[in-house]
Each structure stands twice: as structure tokens, then as C-alpha cells.
Amino acid sequence: MTDTTTEGSPEFASSPRRSLTIVRAEGAGLWDDAGRRFVDLGATHGAGSLGAANPEIAAAVAAQARELLYLGAGYANPVRTAFLEKLLQLLPRSFGRVFLSNSGTEAVEAALKIARSATGRRKVVAAMRGFHGRTMGALSATWRRELREPFEPLVPGFEHVPFNDVAALDRAVDDATALVLLEPVQGEGGVHVASEEYLRAARAAADRSGALLAFDEVQTGIARTGRLFAFERWQVVPDMLLLAKSLAGGVPIGATVTTPEVERRFRGSHHSTFGGNPLACAAGIAALDFVVRENLAGRAEQLGDVARAQLGHLPSERVREVRGLGLLIGVELREKVLPYLAALEARGFLAISAGSTVLRLIPPLIISEDDWSRGLAAIREVVSAGAG
Ligand SMILES: Cc1ncc(COP(=O)(O)O)c(C=O)c1O
């Protein structure tokens, strides 16, 4: 594996890229332009939870494209209504309103605007190591300095507190706070799971101060952690739930789910040309049907257990910790992760990192047991052998 820029390509080189060219997918398999099959252990970044070419999503998109490809959000459309109703049926009854956009970062931006407008306050409290996207508002909530610094000044009013530290959160959330924004499992930040106590404290702090509480489930949402939504595990219900990635089976979508009460307090306007387009909504209906019918949450839980059992005995001189929930797993190494990603790629497995030392496993939830156990065996092999 070489981490290259897009040298020789007209594409703007805004982030490093691998030298592989992927042309086709089936199940959890990805084929390159030379006909080699790779197993996706993270290459689709959680957006490919149903596989990167799920036939049911493809059929729904093709049928919808022939019927009505695009319509502005200013007009009613039965496909959008059906998708929203299906999504809300899977959520606690307190929810009842959804703003649709096209990506995770837009789902976050909408939450920031809704919270500031509904509360009339400015301050946003987010967590250290958190990741919420790369547009200016979402980036202001994101923690990593390297991601933020070149683009400063960012949006004012953001404060970061240590993750899982109840006292620090309690001190930060006050009557100037519009929003408390947290990931139930920090994905990009290294796969750190929130404690139940922390999420309960966040709910209590928001209630006490009059702030809104948002859970960013862009990465954890839709069955990834062994529940349809990670917050179900702790039964701490936020005022806003932010979804994207696999919500429409790999078709771009973002959703900011909230309550009629928050909508009532909202002032101003917010809009997206492509948000809620019929193509994404048709894909979303097919994706939600698939996730529920195939019990992908149960599958994530079961395959996650297999992983924890198999990765629990990795050599401690190389591995600091294995953590995560369901099929969002982080293997924290005591050394740089890139050489291990290269060794896995050479064996036909594409995994990604979360920071410089964490190997992140975020495979499609439809991965076969055979591909999964071969992937885990490859990880055991490369970690036991060491990168040197
Ligand atoms: C928790 C979280 N929030 C927001 C985002 C941003 O999503 P997008 O890349 O679709 O803008 C990501 C992307 O990885 C994420 O993991």
C-alpha cells in the first residue's frame, strides 16, 4: 500500500489516497481494476454497511430514477414522506421531525443552526477527540488540531471537554449553552465508547441548563454497534439525532432528527437543494427495510463478539487495547498503524485507521462469516509478526 496524493490526476489533492483503483463490489468484496478481490474491513467508511453495491438498493434507485429523479424540498413527495415515516417508526416517540441533507457534516450543521436558533444561545459544548465533519461549523466542533488549524478562524462559541469526564461536562454546560454535541462512540477519534454515566450526565446537564442534547450517530447509526442506534443501549434519548453514512445504503444522505417542540422554537430558515431528493429517499426506504428484515443489528452484535474473542489474545507488547461495540472496533497499537494497513492490503484486506495508532474495523454488516474470520486471522497474523 502506498499513501499517495492524487499526483497526475485532475482531482484536487485535499487528502492522502491509496494507490488502489476499485471498480466493483459484491457483498463485502471489492474488486480492483486488475481483477483482484479485496475484503472491505473499512474501505467504505461505514457508508457501505449494506455492501457497496447492494442489489436491493440498486434496484430501488433504478426504479426511482425512471419515475422522478429530482424534486425540490418545497413540494410534497410520497417517497420522501414514506422514508421519513419509516425512519421515525424505528425511533422513540419523542422524535417526530427530520431535516434531510446529503452528508454527515450537513446533518451536524443543521443541528448547530437549529440549536442556536431554538435556544437563542451561542455556546456549543463538544468532546475532546470528537469528530463531527469538515465544514466550518462541524469542524469547529471537531477536536483534532491538524484538521482545524489551517482553516482558522473557525466559528466562535465552541468549547471542548474531556470525553467521559462527568465533572468537566457539568462545569462547561451552563445557561449560555445552546447545544451539547457528543458521539456515543467516538469513531474517528480512536473508537472510544461513552460510559452510561456520562451520557446520563449529559442529558441531565442539558435539562438543567436548558441546552439541547445532540448525539452524532453518523458513524454509529443504523445497526453498526449492535443496536439500530447506539443510544438505545443506554436509553438516554437526545433532543437531536444526527445520521448519514449508511442511512440510504450508500447513496448520499444526511438526517437531523428532532422533536416537534424543538421545531416550534426554531426561528429563521434552513434549506438544501438536494436534501430529501427522491433518489436518496427511495434508497433510504430500501436500506431501512433491508436492515430490519436481515436483523443487521443482531448480526453486528454477534460478529462483534466473534472479533472480541479472536482479537483478545493479541500480543500485549504490540497491542494496548481492543475496544468498541458491535462492528465498530478499534485495535490500539503501541506503534504506528500504517505499516499494518499495508500488510493487510497485501493479504487482500482493506482496513482503515482512526488516528495514527488505532486500526479501525468498520466492515459491511453483511460481511460473510468466512470473510470476517479470515480478516480477523489476517489481523492476528500481521500483528503477531510485527511491522518491522
Ligand atoms: C461521527 C461523524 N460525524 C460526522 C461525520 C462527517 O460525515 P461526512 O463525511 O458525511 O460529512 C463523520 C464522518 O466520518 C463522522 O464519523
Boundaries of every domain in the chain:
3-53+295-385, 55-293
Q: Please name the residue whose Cα sits nearest to atom 13 of ligand 1.
A: 133
* 388 pLDDT higher than 70: no
* 3 pLDDT higher than 60: no
Name the residue with higher pLDDT: 326 or 13.
Answer: 326
Tell me the C-alpha distance between 33 and 202, whole Å.
48
- 266, with CB counted inside 10 A (0-12, 13-18, 19+), is middle
pLDDT of res. 350: 98
pLDDT tens per residue across span 224-268: 999 999 999 999 999 999 999 999 999 999 999 999 999 999 999
pLDDT of res. 9: 83
Which positions are catalytic? 131, 216, 245
Closest atom of ligand 1 relative to the 135 alpha carbon: 11
Between the CA of 251 and the centroid of ligand 1 the distance, in Å, is 14
pLDDT of res. 6: 59
Closest atom of ligand 1 relative to the 46 alpha carbon: 14
pLDDT tens per residue across span 24-79: 999 999 999 999 999 999 999 999 999 999 999 999 999 999 999 999 989 999 99
Query: Can the peptide bond before residue 78 be classed as cis, meaning omega within 30 degrees of 0?
Result: no
- The mean pLDDT value of the chain amounts to 96
pLDDT of res. 312: 87
**Cell matching residue 313:** 489474545
Cα dist from 320 to 64, 324, 332, whole Å = 48, 14, 5
Between the CA of 144 and the centroid of ligand 1 the distance, in Å, is 14
Closest atom of ligand 1 relative to the 219 alpha carbon: 16
Closest atom of ligand 1 relative to the 103 alpha carbon: 10
Region 55-293: CATH code: 3.40.640.10
What mean pLDDT is predicted for residues 211-216? 99
Task: Indicate whether this model's pTM tops 0.85.
Answer: yes
**Residue of 286, 283, 352 lying closest to 102 (CA atoms):** 283
Per cent of the chain over pLDDT 70 is 98
pLDDT of res. 73: 86
- By most ligand atoms within 8 Å of CB, the mutation choice from 219, 243, 256, 325 for ligand 1 is 219
* 5 pLDDT higher than 70: no
What mean pLDDT is predicted for residues 160-165? 98
Sorting pLDDT into bands at 50, 70 and 90, what band is 387?
confident
Between the CA of 137 and the centroid of ligand 1 the distance, in Å, is 13
Tell me the C-alpha distance between 351 and 221, whole Å.
20
* CATH architecture label of 3-53+295-385: Alpha-Beta Complex (3.90)
Between the CA of 347 and the centroid of ligand 1 the distance, in Å, is 28
* 160 pLDDT higher than 80: yes
pLDDT tens per residue across span 169-182: 999 999 999 999 99
β-pairing, 328-333 vs 358-361, is: antiparallel
Between the CA of 343 and the centroid of ligand 1 the distance, in Å, is 27
Q: Which residues line ligand 1 (CB under 6 A)?
A: 103-105, 108, 131-133, 183, 187-188, 216, 218-219, 244
Sorting pLDDT into bands at 50, 70 and 90, what band is 8?
confident
pLDDT of res. 347: 97
pLDDT tens per residue across span 123-153: 999 999 999 999 999 999 999 999 999 999 9
Sorting pLDDT into bands at 50, 70 and 90, what band is 13?
confident
- By most ligand atoms within 8 Å of CB, the mutation choice from 100, 102, 245 for ligand 1 is 245
pLDDT tens per residue across span 298-335: 999 999 999 999 998 898 899 999 999 999 999 999 99
Closest atom of ligand 1 relative to the 217 alpha carbon: 1
Per cent of the chain over pLDDT 90 is 93
- By most ligand atoms within 8 Å of CB, the mutation choice from 144, 183, 218 for ligand 1 is 218
Give the phi and the psi of residue 112 in degrees, each rounded to 5.
-65, -45
pLDDT of res. 2: 46
Q: Please name the residue whose Cα sits nearest to atom 4 of ligand 1.
A: 132
**Cell matching residue 252:** 448520499
**Residue of 215, 139, 211 lying closest to 173 (CA atoms):** 211
The angle subtended at Cα 203 by Cα 199 and Cα 209, nearest 5°, is: 140
| DSSP, residue by residue, 368-384 | -HHHHHHHHHHHHHHHH
Between the CA of 48 and the centroid of ligand 1 the distance, in Å, is 14
**What single-letter amino acid sits at 29?**
G
* 11 pLDDT higher than 70: yes
| DSSP, residue by residue, 141-156 | H---HHHHGGG-S--S
